[in-house]
Structure 1
Amino acid sequence: MTSSNTPPSPLSLSAPAPLAGEVRVPGDKSISHRAIMLSALAVGRSEVRGLLEGEDVLATAAAMRAMGAQVERLGQGHWVVDGVGVGGLLQPDAQLDMGNSGTSTRLLMGLVSSHPITATFVGDASLSRRPMGRVIEPLSRIGAEITASPDGRLPLMLRGADTPLPIHYRLPVASAQVKSAILLAGLNIGAETVVEEPVPTRDHSERMLKGFGAELSVEPMADGGKRIAVRGWAELKPQTLEVPGDPSSAGFLLVAALIVPGSNITIHGVGLNPTRDGLVRVLQEMGADITKLNEREVGGEPVADLLVTHSALTGIEVPPEVAPSMIDEYPILFVAAALASGRTVMRGIEELRVKESDRIAAMAAGLRAAGVAVEELPDGLIVEGSGGEKVAGGCTVATHLDHRIAMSFAVLSLAAKTAITVDDRAPIATSFPDFLPLMQRLGAVQA
């Protein structure tokens, strides 16, 4: 994990020439977390290739080791996991350090909640500010006893239920993490656990649970949502998995190529699950030249190579209903909007205020400092674009320990008259440790 005592390492990039080349982004973060967890709950050895080796996923791997699974790295992105079986998690000897990973925390809370063990979850300063109430509430209904810090934050101690109870839970807000936490808890409950989601969210958990052999059903509801049910006391079977490229990481390279004149790049093997491809669809609506090549399926997920060419973007009003399919990509969409012609309006994204940072406020402040006109809304942001002209830049932006803020402004610096400096590159390692090497391979240089 990145130490809080490590001095900050600023970063600024420039593009002296068009970006060009072919690259592959690291494995999908959401899928990587779930691959480790479900492999640890199978009986036998699973093999995972293409695993993202960012700090967030390493936190998940360390936690599963602490609860009895054997998790071993064989090579770059190549891991094997010897699972303990559903119901076989062991009492960890020490606190589970989640670093900066909200996904690790919420999903592992779900796992522990239906096992008769106790775990204490801790995290870094950023994670410790993030509320866990939305997952504490349903897991308490299952029978878990949870003692959290004020406002439902870390550190927190969770004592799993000796006799966990099945629940039928309707999500009050769209959240793939809360949905997944409940489904993972349901694996060790001797009945059917049901989650209703009013707005469909990323479905990696459902796909992977089925792949590992869980009895799971997904049915549409009359209101447009989904009813997901999992049968407990599951016997998960070990798998050989390949993790597709992370669409969230690809988003930074996509936008970089779109805003640097003359650029033409290919990003290989990008996961394009329809619950995750919102950024590509929105950018294309803004006029982005993005072509899908070699469309195929990898590990049960749709994948394609993306050919991206510099484009003149036009501001649009982004439909709020697209938010669940791209909630993590809004910071880099704000950057694309800053270079578009006209106004881009983005609403219905209040979820961004409780991410690693308040991403709406942090991005608004940084964009203003870089000379971009923005209007901050309670649930979104309005960005007045430059029409393709370079933004002023010449500022230092606070990342607030948020990897997506750091990468977004590093990309914006490529289209600035004077370089934009990110106050600390260290948070980038949580999700995309190869970000800087890949950007340099495409032609970006450290300013």
Structure 2
Amino acid sequence: MGEIEAEQGMWQVRPTTGLGGEARVPPDKSISHRAAMMGAIAEGTTVIDRYLEAADTLATLESLRAFGVEIDGPDGQGRVVVRGRPASRGGLAEPERPVDAGNSGTTLRLLMGLAAAHPIFWVATGDASLRRRPMGRVIEPLSRMGARIWARQGDRAPLAMRGGPLRAIAWRGPVASAQVKSAVLLAGVQARGVTRVDEPALSRDHTERMLPLFGVRLFAGPGWVELEGPQTLQGCHLTVPGDPSSAAFLWVAAAMHPGSRVRVSGVSLNPTRVEVLRVLSEMGAQVQVEPASPPSAPEPWGDVTVVGPERLRPFRIAGRRVPLLIDELPVLAVAALRAQGTSLIQEASELRVKESDRIEALARGLAALGAQVEALPDGLRIEGPQRFPGGVADSCGDHRLAMSLAVAALAGDGPSVVKGSRCARISFPGFAEVLDLLARAGGGRIEEAA
């Protein structure tokens, strides 16, 4: 193995006949980002238990520290303490150096909304993948609110922003995007007047669920939310549930193998995050949900068991379901390899501007394992059921593709290798160890190459 491969990591995967057992997944990435950012502009102290200790969310903490926010932790057990810098304490400080968001689009886009109301100048950048991702859908509404933003090629990082007093706006984006909505709301809670966001379809609603925990008054309905600013956030205590987007890899792996039974405990049951369970149920998997929210939970959570059926049915995903499944679509495409018929993903061109072009990269990766997936301009077509021999696939440095390819490799007829596996740490540290324990029930293995 060469030096580059060793640095990027590599999984060796042996197929399994079934999966079984119970697992916990890392804390929710979306909730962790938002809790730290809201705490950064809140009066007093915010205590976050089970904060995700992964590359993306650690980039958020380091970015907030660059704005002068005092943060203790994480302490190895997931506790983070944030001492806010609200307007009464002078607000966010001007960073002395460029703010590095790493690979995290959520970090950069939400920071732009958070800092837009503060009279400071700052520069933001990220890794090569993030610098390729478009920021125009955030730049446009924040500019209308009064922020001044300069970006490479008009909408790419590195970018620079000068914030200041903001005016409220009514905003309707061309596509449903929880990141854009959240950026506008974080700016709007600090602006004067009523800020309203309307979306063409429902997207993740973590921001509008969490703001009231910090004392913010708002009104929301399906596809819309509005609030009147400025309002001062108040620090609070919250516990982060397990991430359903991480759990999706384990649920899909179970669904693909008849008789498999995998239980994931303590995971978010937010209705805008569990569409993947509805799809698996429609495909024929047995899904059992046991609610179990602790008092400090910002939203519902519980334990979810998925049992693999004898036969999987195909699916068609398009339209309003796409924003609710945008992170799970790659692994659902993998599930379709075992379905009896043609599965179709459409109207999902957003996949092309993620950490990689997930449409082309997934099609190439599955082809390298011997499976056939047709890349469409806005999605994927998968004919099933397929048998494939296994092979050597490349994650293209995309954490969700790496994990999706590992799930696919477990269903192959022979051993496989997934290159670039280390990127899984971006959202799911310890993924290989968790999946390995479940796959051993059927003789499978997933191990880091020596």
Determine the C-alpha separation between the residues in 2 that align with 1:423 and 1:438.
18
Q: What amino acid is aligned across from residue 7 of structure 1 in structure 2?
A: E
Query: Residue 43 of structure 1 contacts residue 236 of structure 1 at CA under 8 Å; is this kept in 2?
Result: yes
Q: 2:266 corresponds to which residue?
A: 269
Determine the C-alpha separation between the residues in 2 that align with 1:80 and 1:265.
34
Correspondence 1:80 to 2:78: no
Tell me the TM-score normalised to structure 1 length.
0.93
- The one-character-per-residue Cα deviations of 1:377-428 (angstroms, maximum 9, x if unpaired) are 1111110112xx642222x222222100011001111111122322211211
Q: 1:218 corresponds to which residue?
A: 220
Correspondence 1:179 to 2:186: no
Determine the C-alpha separation between the residues in 2 that align with 1:84 and 1:300.
22
Q: 2:304 corresponds to which residue?
A: 306
Aligned pairs (5 A) from 1:131-142: 131-142=134-145
Call closer, same or farther: CA 1:337–1:16 in 2, change over 3 Å: closer
Q: 1:406 corresponds to which residue?
A: 402
Other structure's SS at 2:63 match: helix
- The one-character-per-residue Cα deviations of 1:132-183 (angstroms, maximum 9, x if unpaired) are 111111111111111111151111111113x222211111111110111011
Other structure's SS at 2:300 match: strand
Determine the C-alpha separation between the residues in 1 that align with 2:338 and 2:161.
46
Call closer, same or farther: CA 1:300–1:8 in 2, change over 3 Å: closer
RMSD: 1.8
Query: Residue 399 of structure 1 contacts residue 424 of structure 1 at CA under 8 Å; is this kept in 2?
Result: yes
- The one-character-per-residue Cα deviations of 1:248-289 (angstroms, maximum 9, x if unpaired) are 000011111222344222100111211111111011101112
Correspondence 1:418 to 2:395: no
Q: Deviation at 1:56?
A: 0.4
Determine the C-alpha separation between the residues in 2 that align with 1:315 and 1:35.
37
User: Where do 5+ consecutive residues of structure 1 fail to align?
Assistant: none
Q: 2:117 corresponds to which residue?
A: 114
Q: 1:440 corresponds to which residue?
A: 436
Determine the C-alpha separation between the residues in 2 that align with 1:113 and 1:5.
40
Query: Residue 342 of structure 2 contacts residue 384 of structure 2 at CA under 8 Å; is this kept in 1?
Result: yes
Query: Residue 255 of structure 2 contacts residue 280 of structure 2 at CA under 8 Å; is this kept in 1?
Result: no
Q: Deviation at 1:5?
A: 11
Q: Deviation at 1:50?
A: 1.4
Determine the C-alpha separation between the residues in 1 that align with 2:221 and 2:329.
29
Determine the C-alpha separation between the residues in 2 that align with 1:44 and 1:32.
18
Q: Sequence identity of aligned pairs in percent?
A: 47
Q: Deviation at 1:237?
A: 1.2
Tell me the TM-score normalised to structure 2 length.
0.92
Determine the C-alpha separation between the residues in 1 that align with 2:327 and 2:188.
27
Q: 1:334 corresponds to which residue?
A: 333
Q: What amino acid is aligned across from residue 83 of structure 2 in structure 1?
A: D
Other structure's SS at 1:276 match: coil
Query: Residue 15 of structure 2 contacts residue 415 of structure 2 at CA under 8 Å; is this kept in 1?
Result: no
- The one-character-per-residue Cα deviations of 1:295-315 (angstroms, maximum 9, x if unpaired) are 546623121211122222111
Aligned pairs (5 A) from 1:36-435: 36-73=36-73, 74-86=75-87, 88-161=91-164, 163-219=165-221, 225-226=223-224, 228-296=225-293, 299-311=297-309, 312-386=311-385, 390-394=387-391, 396-435=392-431
Determine the C-alpha separation between the residues in 1 that align with 2:360 and 2:12.
21
Query: Residue 372 of structure 1 contacts residue 384 of structure 1 at CA under 8 Å; is this kept in 2?
Result: no
Determine the C-alpha separation between the residues in 2 that align with 1:354 and 1:151.
16
Count how many residue pairs are aligned between Structure 1 and Structure 2.
435
Q: 1:9 corresponds to which residue?
A: 9
Query: Residue 314 of structure 1 contacts residue 340 of structure 1 at CA under 8 Å; is this kept in 2?
Result: yes
Determine the C-alpha separation between the residues in 2 that align with 1:402 and 1:16.
24
Determine the C-alpha separation between the residues in 1 that align with 2:27 and 2:186.
22
Determine the C-alpha separation between the residues in 1 that align with 2:421 and 2:167.
44
Q: What amino acid is aligned across from residue 139 of structure 2 in structure 1?
A: I
Q: What amino acid is aligned across from residue 45 of structure 1 in structure 2?
A: T
With 365-374 and 193-202 compared, the bigger mean Cα shift is at 365-374
Determine the C-alpha separation between the residues in 2 that align with 1:392 and 1:75.
40
Q: What amino acid is aligned across from residue 271 of structure 2 in structure 1?
A: P
Determine the C-alpha separation between the residues in 1 that align with 2:257 and 2:149.
49
Determine the C-alpha separation between the residues in 2 that align with 1:91 and 1:340.
53
Other structure's SS at 1:426 match: helix
Call closer, same or farther: CA 1:6–1:392 in 2, change over 3 Å: closer
Determine the C-alpha separation between the residues in 1 that align with 2:159 and 2:5.
23
User: Where do 5+ consecutive residues of structure 2 fail to align?
Assistant: none
Q: What amino acid is aligned across from residue 389 of structure 2 in structure 1?
A: A
Determine the C-alpha separation between the residues in 1 that align with 2:6 and 2:161.
30
Q: What amino acid is aligned across from residue 13 of structure 2 in structure 1?
A: L
Determine the C-alpha separation between the residues in 2 that align with 1:415 and 1:17.
8
Q: What amino acid is aligned across from residue 62 of structure 1 in structure 2?
A: E
Query: Residue 372 of structure 1 contacts residue 383 of structure 1 at CA under 8 Å; is this kept in 2?
Result: no
Other structure's SS at 1:393 match: coil
